[in-house]
Structure 1
Amino acid sequence: MAIEVRIPTILRSYTGGAKAVDGSGSTIDELLTDLDTRHAGIRERIVDENAAGRLRRFVNVYLNDEDVRFLDGISTKLTDGDSVTILPAVAGGMS
């Protein structure tokens, strides 16, 4: 099963600078584990293992443009051809 994963600039040091990589898995959790086998350390930047394996608070993950937090979180099911986008949350505003 091929799934395209779009990588934000801040995590590209883990992917050798690649903006997108291919991964596999039947859930977001399995996909991130698969990515970590080829891009060591990337999973720990996205998943907080101390918080029962939940996504880190300031990292957003989208499946085909839908936030997985509103689906089944890290257990969200994937199918062949899906696109996953990882985005750091951005804070700011006017002072």
Structure 2
Amino acid sequence: MNVIIPTSLRQHTGGLGIVDVQGLCVDEALLSLVESHPALKPQLLDASGDILSHVNVFVNDTNARDMDAGATPLAESDEILLVPAIAGG
């Protein structure tokens, strides 16, 4: 399945906007992502491996937090979109 990387995080993927990952659930897919692009880990996960509170993970346009969060099951055809909160003024 594909993870869509927002522009603000592409510096951690060598400029890639889409990364192919493996996993049966959101947590496994994110683990696959950070294994292939370790610089993303502190941007997405806390020390215990949980998704940071300011990062939203969408599976086919639905926020994973509105489903089973990291345990949300995935199919190979699913698309994951990462949406980190951006602060500024």
The answer on 1:69 being equivalent to 2:35 is no
Secondary structure in structure 2 of the residue aligned to 1:41 = helix
Length-normalised TM-score, structure 1: 0.82
- Normalized per residue, the structure richer in strand is 1
Consecutive unaligned residues in structure 1, runs of 5 or more: none
CA contact (8 A) 1:54 1:73 kept: no
Give 1:45's aligned residue: 43
Runs (4+) off by over 3 Å: 90-93
The answer on 1:85 being equivalent to 2:85 is no
Length-normalised TM-score, structure 2: 0.87
Whole-angstrom distance in 1 between the partners of 2:63 and 2:8: 19
What is the Cα-based RMSD across aligned positions, in Å?
1.7
Q: How many residues align?
A: 89
Give 1:59's aligned residue: 55
User: Percent of counterpart pairs with the same letter?
Assistant: 38
| CA radius of gyration, larger in | 1
* Range with bigger deviation, 70-79 or 53-62: 53-62
Consecutive unaligned residues in structure 2, runs of 5 or more: none
Give 1:15's aligned residue: 13
Secondary structure in structure 1 of the residue aligned to 2:70 = helix
Whole-angstrom distance in 2 between the partners of 1:92 and 1:46: 19
Change (3 A) 1:14 1:82: same
